Copies of this chain bind each other. A is one copy, B any other.
Amino acid sequence: MSRTEISTLGEFGLIEYLTKNIEIKNSSTIKGVGDDAAVLSYGDKKVLVTTDLLLEGIHFDLTYVPLKHLGYKSAIVNLSDVYAMNGRPKQITVSLGLSKRFSIEDMESFYEGIYLACEQHGVDVIGGDTSASLTGLTISITCLGEGEEDKIVYRNGAKDTDLICVSGNLGAAYMGLQLLEREKAIFDGSSNFEADFSGKEYLLERQLKPEARKDIVELLAQNDILPTSMIDISDGLSSEIKHICKQSGTGCRIFEERIPIDYQTAVMAEQFNMNVTTVALNGGEDYELLFTVPLHLYDRISKIKEVHVIGHITDSKFGEILQTRDGSEIELKAQGWNSIKEE
């Protein structure tokens, strides 16, 4: 039997490969694999389901992440997926694999973070599974939410000329991670650069205590704006807009100068000798919402302070383009985190 390395397909490729032959059997399954959340129908309301697996050493480093923050963030990343469907998160299950290194007090801290996130978003913890682990901490959270049938927003609804919008600002969580990694290197003794977090609190907060944009979903509803497509930014703007374009069968044009970047992010990127646009495009973990709205809603969307129009959807033949400040055009690539450092 032949052996093909998983790296040849990548995460998305593997999922696509393994799920390509799924045939839906139940009338209650409206949408399965392939969006931020699945959509189920169990009566008048639709049920949204999303799940995330977080592994120590891959998704988090307990050297600098307090357990309470980790609990909070573990919940938030799931809630964010439900908001990205224009839904409201309602319940989560929390499964943990725990090595002997962890005490009950540790787990209390972790759950404090979980419960804080749930409190802020009106979510119930309804179950889970707890197990011994031979190796570090494993966290698996599944979130259920509800949405109204005609208001659930998928990734595949973007249309030519739609405006591309993003909430908040991008790249800060990634720069926060760089700061923490530098701090760790000092602890390790592998660097003697003096860590200084003063004035960088915002970047750390974006990395350690990200927020799910419940407020944006509410503002959109209040302003009677139903996006044509939506996704949350967990892997970086490039990767996410490419998901929307691929599933919608469109192209896009993003304007570099319109990508929202916080002042601290820009300063830190310069200190680290990184291109701040590359950071914003590929940094990930911002958990901002990326969505498209019809062109005629320009005035309405412009009034929402926390939302920025960064480009527009095009016919697929024009590709996925970044127009730089100097007017040149670059094809958008989903680089992900690792490749940023190699630049």
Contacts and interface: CB of A to CB of B under 8 A. Distances in A.
Interface string A18-58: 11011011101101110001101011111101111111111
A125 interface: yes
Nearest to A112: B18
How many copies of this chain sit in the oligomeric assembly?
2
Contacts of A132: 11, 55, 58
Nearest to A138: B138
Interface in A265-289: none
A5 interface: yes
A223 interface: no
Interface in A77-101: 90-91, 93, 95-98, 100
Contacts of A90: 26, 28-29, 40
B5 A103 contact: yes
Contacts of A127: 32-33, 37-38, 49-51
A148 to B, nearest CB: 12
B3 A126 contact: no
Interface of A: 1-9, 11, 14-15, 17-19, 21-22, 24-26, 28-29, 31-33, 37-38, 40, 42-47, 49-59, 90-91, 93, 95-98, 100, 102-105, 107-108, 111, 115, 118, 122-136, 138, 140, 142, 144, 146
